[in-house]
Structure 1
């Protein structure tokens, strides 16, 4: 059904959320796929589907690959991947979708800028607010190199803290330089936030697997997770039909 609805512009968002298993808190990796009408900035994500599992990053590639096939990602006109700064996300994106546009979540970036500004001017000061807004404007308009240069100048002036926050922020901007061209992404009609997958982390994982005083076995969690995904992806009836078929074979 998705192949009929996809408008050949596909967005893939990737993130992770913690779940309380018997052996402790484990990260469930989550992916969200949706078709994107880039001609209409106000258009909502369409035909959204989700995948999730607590496999290793490398093993999760196969899960994403299977959903990408269902969604027609490899025949789509254009694909964009949106995520935060976790290295495994971008290693996965480059491996699965080497031609895709890669976009660092805007709000994740602004958090880094905010932390760096506090090192320079302190907590909750007007100067901190002004500096954050200045840096955000520069990045928003495609002048991230200026922010990186400013940060390195501050480091050279001895303004960094013991955690090297300013240097790390400058390195972060350099690492993600091609993922923070927000002026180009906006002009092309791509989303610059990862809100769809962040929402999935809450309603696919958080609401069920973070309840107080509950811990899950891997088998139980995987079974419930699969059912939640089937329901959200409108594949519940297909799952039920498959189960009935297996029961008939067993009989």
Structure 2
């Protein structure tokens, strides 16, 4: 992947990932000047998991909406304050809450969802994962197939052209090149 990433101009590099430490260590080591975004739905899942043993289903829904509002206002500190508040009133959940406080503190700069959306960045990896399944896996993981890097790249290019409606343009280019 690094060869492909290196072809992207530095100003346009965006990494949208979950909170796995090894991923962010690699991004930090190799692409410090990139835009880095923690997948919004992973962040939301962290919040949901942390309050599940603390709040009722109805309380949880309202609480999550409040935290989502903070995240979309780039106010991760408000989320962290709320987790600290819960830690004080729920001592049995202290370890769990402390882990989540550390998670949100560590990734605060990657959770500026309001700003990211204003700049036109995706904040969730769902569309990318779906495109990967539809464009790449559906065609390239058929039984018995083996691919060289060159063959794989050629097939991906053809799949993208076909599925994006650019097939006629590709055919015209091929005809002109012949």
Q: TM-score range by the shorter chain?
A: 0.7 to 0.9
Matched, 1:65 2:31: no
- When you count helix as a share of all residues, which structure comes out higher? 2
Q: Provide the residue aligned with 1:187 in structure 2.
A: 118
Q: Provide the residue aligned with 2:16 in structure 1.
A: 82
Q: Say whether the 8 Å CA contact 2:17–2:39 is kept in structure 1.
A: yes
Q: Say whether the 8 Å CA contact 1:82–1:194 is kept in structure 2.
A: yes
Q: Provide the residue aligned with 1:99 in structure 2.
A: 33
**1 CA distance for matches of 2:88 and 2:138?**
43
Q: Say whether the 8 Å CA contact 1:160–1:167 is kept in structure 2.
A: no
Q: Across the two proteins, how many residue pairs are aligned to each other?
A: 157
Unpaired segments ≥5 residues, structure 1: 1-63, 215-219, 236-251
**2 CA distance for matches of 1:110 and 1:185?**
16
Kindly state the Cα deviation for residue 159 of structure 1 after the two structures are TM-superposed.
4.6
Give the 5 Å matches for 1:70-149: 72-73=7-8, 75-122=9-56, 125-149=57-81
Matched, 1:232 2:156: yes
What TM-score results when the alignment is normalised by the length of structure 2?
0.73
Say if 1:195 and 1:94 are closer, same or farther in 2 by CA, change over 3 A: same
**2 CA distance for matches of 1:111 and 1:229?**
35
Q: Say whether the 8 Å CA contact 2:41–2:124 is kept in structure 1.
A: yes
Q: Partner of 2:33: helix, strand, or coil?
A: coil
Say if 1:78 and 1:228 are closer, same or farther in 2 by CA, change over 3 A: closer
Work out which structure has the larger RCO, using CA pairs closer than 8 Å and 6 or more positions apart in sequence: 1
Kindly state the Cα deviation for residue 107 of structure 1 after the two structures are TM-superposed.
1.0
What TM-score results when the alignment is normalised by the length of structure 1?
0.54
Q: Provide the residue aligned with 1:19 in structure 2.
A: none
CA RMSD of aligned residues (A): 3.0
**2 CA distance for matches of 1:202 and 1:121?**
36
- When you count strand as a share of all residues, which structure comes out higher? 1
Matched, 1:151 2:83: yes
